[in-house]
């Protein structure tokens, strides 16, 4: 634990997955935190005039800690993206402390990298690419509930990209492994940074080709094809899964 003088800058202050936000009659925003703060990790700069710092201290005066995902509803788009990037850098730094080549303690090198002072190896944040796919069958869409969901909503089939496969191969494999379905006409929808803690989500649509829904690998607990007028509880924004579902509901796919 040490103390850092962060100056009078906008701050992403992270404590156990929550960030400190200031609130007044104008709404919620990232705080301006002058002076000295107690920290555990390296300070990062997700943008000019903004610092990201982790701490175990109580929220600075006039602020309160809010979950990063919940902050999406409170902050403007620019500040939410700053908070997400800052939190992602801090989460990465908290588990990237030593050089994998020689074991020396790493130190910050640039605004987004660490370096080994002994062998010079430089480390950048690692992203885990993952796919989500909306599979349609006529006027219905495949929605599923995964075992790791904390709430009873249904979302899209999802999974991480494996070494040696294309994104389209990953989409087909995940659908097959989780539901035994075969799909076709795989099309790219869009992407999203997902800092929980370090995913890059890549969205797709596809059409059912053949098969019946069976939960093959134990990752799903329920699901099936749903019509627009009989939908289960859905994931909340700002998830890419919800954005694709909304586009389908509105007939924009």
What beta strand segments (E) does 34-178 contain?
A: 36-39, 44-47, 50-54, 63-67, 107-110, 113-115, 122-123, 128-137, 140-146, 157-160
Q: How would residue 42 be classed by pLDDT, with cut points 50, 70 and 90?
A: low
Inform me whether the pLDDT recorded for 39 exceeds 80.
no
Superfamily (CATH H level) for 128-249: Nucleoside Triphosphate Pyrophosphohydrolase (3.90.79.10)
Q: Looking at residue 49, what is its pLDDT?
A: 84
Q: Looking at residue 7, what is its pLDDT?
A: 64
Give tens-digit pLDDT for 196-232: 889 999 999 999 999 999 997 788 999 999 999 999 9
Q: How would residue 48 be classed by pLDDT, with cut points 50, 70 and 90?
A: confident
Q: Which helix (H) or strand (E) holds 18?
A: strand 18-24
Cα–Cα dist 243/253, whole Å:
11
Inform me whether the pLDDT recorded for 47 exceeds 90.
no
Cα–Cα dist 238/87, whole Å:
16
| Share of residues in the chain with pLDDT > 90 (%) | 72
Helix, strand, coil percentages for the chain (3-state, nearest 5)? 20, 40, 40
What is the mean predicted confidence (pLDDT) over 31-49? 75
What is the mean predicted confidence (pLDDT) over 168-191? 97
Q: Where are the domains of the chain?
A: 2-95, 97-125, 128-249
Give tens-digit pLDDT for 75-87: 999 999 999 999 9
Q: Looking at residue 122, what is its pLDDT?
A: 97
Name the average pLDDT for the chain. Answer: 91
Quick one: CA dihedral 5, 11, 16, 20, positive or negative?
positive
- Among 62, 39, 71, 63, smallest CA distance to 52 is for 39
Cα–Cα dist 156/168, whole Å:
16
């Amino acid at each position: 634990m040490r103390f850092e003088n962060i100056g009078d800058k906008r701050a992403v202050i992270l404590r156990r997955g929550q960030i400190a936000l200031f609130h007044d009659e104008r709404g919620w925003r990232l705080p301006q935190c002058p002076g000295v703060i107690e920290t555990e990790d390296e300070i990062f700069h997700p943008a000019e005039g903004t610092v990201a710092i982790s701490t175990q201290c109580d929220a600075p005066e006039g602020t309160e800690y809010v979950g990063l995902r919940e902050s999406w509803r409170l902050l403007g788009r620019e500040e939410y993206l700053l908070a997400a990037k800052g939190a992602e850098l801090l989460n990465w730094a908290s588990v990237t402390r030593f050089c994998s080549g020689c074991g020396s303690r790493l130190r910050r090198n640039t605004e987004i990298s660490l370096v080994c002072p002994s062998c010079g190896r430089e480390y950048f944040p690692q992203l885990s690419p993952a796919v989500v796919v909306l599979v349609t069958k006529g006027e219905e869409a495949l929605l599923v509930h995964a075992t790791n969901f904390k709430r009873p909503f249904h979302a899209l089939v999802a999974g991480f990209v494996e070494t040696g496969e294309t994104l389209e191969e990953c989409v087909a494999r995940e659908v097959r492994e989780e539901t035994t379905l075969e799909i076709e006409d795989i099309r790219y929808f869009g992407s999203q940074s997902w800092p929980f803690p370090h995913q890059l989500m890549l969205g797709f649509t596809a059409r059912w080709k053949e098969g019946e829904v069976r939960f093959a690998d134990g990752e799903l607990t329920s699901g099936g094809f749903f019509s627009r007028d009989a939908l289960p509880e859905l994931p909340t924004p700002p998830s890419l899964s919800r954005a694709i579902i909304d586009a389908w509901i509105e007939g924009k796919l």
